Chain A
């Protein structure tokens, strides 16, 4: 059975800190890994990763995938209170199935 594990499940930091969120997976027929940010309502897309070792960046956020060790990390530098959210990791397989992890709840204090 496909499985996605995220750690930590929750994290409290202060503004300006750097955080690293982890996602590991056991998926048959892996195709891609996606990161989403969920605030009050619908998840919003951050990154899609399909190849190992290629970092994707968007402002203060970056992510990388390791297909050999079956994990990905999401880094947020110089955190702001607006980064407070649940960060979801999802894996997409060739069976057209998205499997989501439980999420990491990040709280950034002023």
Chain B
């Protein structure tokens, strides 16, 4: 089972460059999330999506954009990379519970992360 797959695993960018972090899941989960984790810190929510065509801002959305054209894919775009965006980025997905006849959102499944350095 692939679960949540993130690419690339590592990337170095120059200031001002742009890139897209890819995330795909094969569990038919309707909820997907992007987090960043700075050294020694917890996870901070960047954007999330409750289904195809629906996205919403999290705690730290500035400098990022997302789209959700399909249930499986939830790419994260950095338009003008800045040193403050150096971090490890995690994508996660979860089901609403209703898909399995359960009450409430189910635990998130995480990808292995993308380590991004902006120099």
Whether A and B are associated in the same complex: the answer reads: yes
The residues of A with any CB-CB pair to B shorter than 8 Å are: 4, 6, 31-32, 34, 41-45, 48, 50, 88, 90, 92, 96-103
Docked complex Cα distance between A73 and B117 (Å): 35
Docked complex Cα distance between A90 and B94 (Å): 14
Docked complex Cα distance between A42 and B45 (Å): 15
Contact B42 A96 (CB under 8 A): no
Residue among A42, A45, A88 with the highest chain B CB neighbour number at 10 A? A42
In addition to A88-B42, A92-B104, A98-B45, 18 A-B residue pairs with Cβ atoms within 8 Å of each other are: A6-B42, A31-B105, A32-B104, A41-B113, A42-B4, A42-B111, A43-B108, A43-B110, A45-B108, A92-B105, A96-B48, A96-B50, A96-B105, A97-B45, A97-B58, A98-B33, A100-B43, A100-B44
Minimum C-beta distance from B68 to chain A (A): 13
B73 within 8 A of A: no
Give the dominant DSSP class at A's interface: strand
Minimum C-beta distance from A71 to chain B (A): 17
6 nearest A-B residue pairs (beta carbon) = A42-B110, A45-B107, A100-B43, A100-B42, A102-B42, A41-B112
Q: Which B residue's beta carbon lies closest to that of A90?
A: B43
Chain B residues numbered 15-59 whose CB sits less than 8 Å from any CB in chain A: 31, 33, 35, 40-45, 48, 50, 56, 58-59
Q: Which A residue's beta carbon lies closest to that of B96?
A: A96
B74 within 8 A of A: no
Q: Which B residue's beta carbon lies closest to that of A32?
A: B104
Contact A103 B42 (CB under 8 A): yes
Docked complex Cα distance between A32 and B44 (Å): 18
Q: From known contacts A34-B107, A96-B105, infer whether A42 and B113 are also in contact, taking CB-CB under 8 Å.
A: yes
Contacts of A100 in B (CB 8 A): 35, 42-45
Contacts of A102 in B (CB 8 A): 40-42
